[in-house]
Chain A
Amino acid sequence: MEGASLRGGGRSVLERSPLARLPDRALRYGLTALAAAILALIVYFFVRLVGEAAPAFERMGVFGFTFGSEWNVNAEHFGALPLLVGTLITSALALLIGVPVAVAAAIYATELCPVRLRGALTLLVELLAAVPSVVYGLWGIFFLAPKLQPAEQWIAGKLSFIPFIGGGTVTIPNYFITGLVLAIMILPIVSAISREVIATVPTDQKEAALALGATRWEMIRTAVLPFSRAGIVGGAMLGLGRALGETIAVTILIGNAPRLSHHLFEQGYSLAAVIANEFGEATGLHRNALFAAGLVLFVLTLLVNGVARALVLRAASGRNRAGSGEAGARLAETVAGA
C-alpha cells in the first residue's frame, strides 16, 4: 500500500504528533466549556432569583402576589397588581402610539422615499436608539411633560365622559407621558424590523401589482402589507418586550405611586420602576418582594420575546422558500442582534 510508505514509527508522517495536537484540543474543549458555562450561568441566575423571591411568594401565594391589588411596604403587604397594570398600560400605550408611526416610517423608507434620502432617513431613526434611557427620562420630565400638561388637561376635560381618559387630576408624571416616551424609545427597533421585513417582499409581486394598474398605495396595501404582516407583528412584539423591561425612563416619568390608577393622566408604578426606586432601601420581606417583582417581569419579557422571535424568524424562513433568501437572512440577523 502507498499509505504504508508514508508511515514512520507507527503514525503517518502527515499526522501531527500528540504534542502538536494539544493546542487544538485545548482550544476546542476550552471554547466548548465557555459556551456551556454561559448556559449554566443563566440557569444559575434564574434559580438564585427564584430562591430570593420565594419568601414573598410563600407569604402572599404566587397568585396573591402577582394579582394582589395592594402594595404596602409599611404593612409588609405585597400585591403586584398595581405594578403589573402600570407596566401593561404604559407598554400598550407605547405600542398604540409607536407602532403605526414606526411602520409608516419603514414603508416610506422602503417604498416611497427617493433612493438618495433612504440612507439618511434610516440613520436618523436609528439615532433614537443611541439615546440612553436616562436621557429620555430627563428630557421627558423637564421638557415634554410640562409642555404637554395643558393639552392633557384639555383632553381630560373635554373627553371626561370616556371612563379611562376623563376624571381624575392630571399630574405631571403620569401613564400617558410614560407611554409616549416609551413609544419614542421602541420606534427604532420596530421600524428597523419592519423595514427588513418589507425589504423581503419579492419585487415581482410588487411589479405585478403595479402592472395590473394598482396605484402605489394599492400596491402597498395588496402586495407589501399582507406579505409582511407576521414579521411586522413580530417586530412590534420585540418593541413590547423592550417597553415592558424599560426601567429608568419609566421610573422618572411614571410618578412611582403604588396604587391602581384608573385614569390615563394619573401617576402609577411599574414592575421595573418599583425595583429601581425601592431596592436601595429595602430589607427583609420587602427585598424578597422586589425580587419577586423582578421574577414576574423576567418571565413576562421572556414570553413576549420568545413569541416575537418565533414570528419574525418564521417570516424570515418563509422568505428563503419564496426565493428572496438574502433579504431573509438579513432579517434573521437583525432579529438576532435586537
Chain B
Amino acid sequence: MGTLDRFSVSPGRRRRDRIARSAILGATLIALVPLVLIVYYLLRKGLGSWSTSFFTTDPTGNTFFKNSSIGGIKSAILGTIEIVGLASAMAIPVGIAVAVWLVEYGKESRFAQTVRFGVDVLTGVPSIIFGLFIFIVLVVGTGSTYAAYKGSCALALLMLPVVIRSAEVILRLVPPALRESALALGAPRWRVIFRIILPTALPGLITGVLLAVARAAGETAPLLFTAGYTLKSNFNLGQFMNALPLQIYYDVTSPTTSIEHRAWGAALTLVSMILLLNVLARLIARRSRIG
C-alpha cells in the first residue's frame, strides 16, 4: 500500500476535479430549468382556459370583456391544419424527389454539391425572410393581397431543406446491395427507386417529414405578410386565414388579461400538437430497419 500512495491523486487535484464536476452538473441542471418552467406555466395557465367552447368557437374581436365573449381558437386550429397541410403537400414530394436525385443520380458530382450548398443556404435563411420572398413574388408579383395558400408556400420553402437533408441521410442508408441486386435482375432504374429504395427508406422518411411538419406548424414569421389574419373559420385557401401562431402573436401584442388567457390556451394547444408529431416521429424512427 505504501508504495501505491505515491500514485494516488493529491487532495488539491481531487478538490479541483470535484469542483469542476459539480460545476458541469450545475450547468446541466440550469439547462433543464427553462424547460420545467415553460411546461409548468403552459399547463397551469393553458389548462385553465381550455374548455369545450374554447375549441368550438371562433375568436371574436372583443378584447375588453370577460372570457365568455372573447371566443375560442377554432379558426386558428383549422387554419393551422389547412395551411400546414397544403405546405406539406408541396414540400414533401418535391423534397423527397430532390433527395432521390441527390442520392441516385447527382451523387458527388459538382452540380450535386452545388445543389447541396443551395439547400444549406435555405436551411440558414431566417424564417421571416421566407415571408418576404413570398410577399415579393405572390403578393407584389400578382398585384393581389394575402391568402392562405401564400402562407403555405412560405412554410413549404421553410420545410424544403429540412425534408431534403433528412431524406438524403435516410436514402443513403439503403444498402447498396439491395439496389444492385434489383438492377442485376433487370429492373429499370425508376422501378428500383419506387419499388425498392423508397419502401425500404419509408419509416425514416416519415420521421424526417413529421419533424419538418412540426417545425412548420410552430412558425409565425413567414405567415405574417402572406396568410393574413382573420377571426372566422374558413376552408378557402384563397382567402385570409387564421393560424395558431398568428393568433398567439396577435393576442400577445394586444394584451388584456382575458386575451392573455386565450394566448396561453392556444400556446398549450400548439405545443401539444407539435409534441404529438415529435413523439410520432420518434416511434416510427424506432421501427425503421435501417439507420
Which A residues have a C-beta under 8 Å from some C-beta of B? Answer: 16, 20-21, 23-24, 27-28, 30-32, 34-36, 38-39, 42, 45, 48-49, 52, 100-102, 104-105, 107-109, 112, 121, 124-125, 127-128, 130-139, 141-144, 184, 187, 191, 213, 215-218, 220-221, 241, 244-248, 252, 272, 275-276, 279-280, 291, 294, 297-298, 301-302, 304-306, 309, 333, 336-338
| Structural contact, B98 and A131, CB atoms closer than 8 A | no
Complexed CA–CA distance, A184 and B31 (Å)? 8
Partner of B133, one of A49, A130, A144, A216: A49
B25: A residues at CB distance < 8 A: 108, 112
Complexed CA–CA distance, A333 and B162 (Å)? 12
Minimal beta-carbon separation of A22 from chain B (angstroms): 10
Contact with A along B210-238 (1 / 0, CB 8 A): 00001001111100110000000000000
B180 located at the interface, meaning its Cβ lies under 8 Å from any Cβ of chain A in the complex = no
Contact with A along B151-178 (1 / 0, CB 8 A): 0000000001010011011000000000
| Structural contact, A184 and B267, CB atoms closer than 8 A | no
Q: What is the chain A residue whose CB lies nearest that of B34?
A: A184
| Structural contact, B271 and A134, CB atoms closer than 8 A | no
B42 located at the interface, meaning its Cβ lies under 8 Å from any Cβ of chain A in the complex = yes
| Structural contact, B42 and A101, CB atoms closer than 8 A | no
Minimal beta-carbon separation of B291 from chain A (angstroms): 10
| Structural contact, B101 and A32, CB atoms closer than 8 A | yes
Complexed CA–CA distance, A218 and B19 (Å)? 12
B89 located at the interface, meaning its Cβ lies under 8 Å from any Cβ of chain A in the complex = no
Complexed CA–CA distance, A165 and B257 (Å)? 32
B34: A residues at CB distance < 8 A: 128, 184, 187
> Which of B53-61, B64-72, B245-253 is found at the contact surface with chain A?
B245-253
| Structural contact, A248 and B94, CB atoms closer than 8 A | no
Complexed CA–CA distance, A38 and B122 (Å)? 10
Partner of A138, one of B118, B123, B263: B263
Complexed CA–CA distance, A132 and B118 (Å)? 25
B253: A residues at CB distance < 8 A: 252
Known: A16-B188, A42-B121, A298-B126. Contact between A130 and B249, CB under 8 A? no
A-B contact pairs, 25 of them (CB 8 A): A28-B189, A30-B97, A31-B97, A31-B98, A31-B104, A35-B115, A36-B111, A52-B136, A101-B28, A108-B27, A108-B28, A112-B25, A132-B270, A132-B271, A133-B221, A134-B249, A142-B264, A217-B21, A218-B13, A245-B127, A247-B128, A294-B128, A298-B126, A301-B126, A305-B121
A100: B residues at CB distance < 8 A: 27
A45-B136, A109-B28 given; 12 more Cβ-contact pairs under 8 Å = A104-B23, A112-B21, A124-B35, A139-B41, A142-B252, A216-B17, A245-B126, A279-B132, A301-B124, A305-B124, A309-B120, A338-B123
| Structural contact, A31 and B219, CB atoms closer than 8 A | no
Q: What is the chain B residue whose CB lies nearest that of A29?
A: B105
| Structural contact, B248 and A298, CB atoms closer than 8 A | no
Q: Which of B126, B136, B218, B253 has the most CB of A within 10 A?
A: B126
B127: A residues at CB distance < 8 A: 245, 247
Secondary structure class of chain A's binding surface, majority of residues:
helix
B1 located at the interface, meaning its Cβ lies under 8 Å from any Cβ of chain A in the complex = no
Complexed CA–CA distance, A62 and B65 (Å)? 49
Partner of A275, one of B27, B132, B217: B132
A215: B residues at CB distance < 8 A: 9, 13-14, 16-17
| Structural contact, A130 and B275, CB atoms closer than 8 A | yes
| Structural contact, B115 and A337, CB atoms closer than 8 A | no
| Structural contact, A245 and B35, CB atoms closer than 8 A | no
Minimal beta-carbon separation of A176 from chain B (angstroms): 15
B185 located at the interface, meaning its Cβ lies under 8 Å from any Cβ of chain A in the complex = no
Minimal beta-carbon separation of B37 from chain A (angstroms): 7
Q: What is the chain A residue whose CB lies nearest that of B264?
A: A138
| Structural contact, A134 and B115, CB atoms closer than 8 A | no
| Structural contact, A49 and B193, CB atoms closer than 8 A | no
Minimal beta-carbon separation of A338 from chain B (angstroms): 7
| Structural contact, B115 and A38, CB atoms closer than 8 A | yes
Complexed CA–CA distance, A338 and B57 (Å)? 38
Pairs of residues from A and B, 9 with the lowest C-beta to C-beta distance, nearest first: A245-B126, A132-B218, A104-B27, A305-B124, A31-B101, A215-B17, A217-B20, A247-B221, A108-B28
Q: What is the chain B residue whose CB lies nearest that of A51?
A: B136
B181 located at the interface, meaning its Cβ lies under 8 Å from any Cβ of chain A in the complex = no
Known: A105-B27, A135-B38. Contact between A252 and B252, CB under 8 A? yes
| Structural contact, A248 and B225, CB atoms closer than 8 A | no
Complexed CA–CA distance, A112 and B17 (Å)? 12
| Structural contact, B245 and A134, CB atoms closer than 8 A | yes
Minimal beta-carbon separation of A193 from chain B (angstroms): 14
Known: A42-B122, A130-B278, A138-B263. Contact between A35 and B98, CB under 8 A? yes
A138: B residues at CB distance < 8 A: 248, 252, 263-264, 267
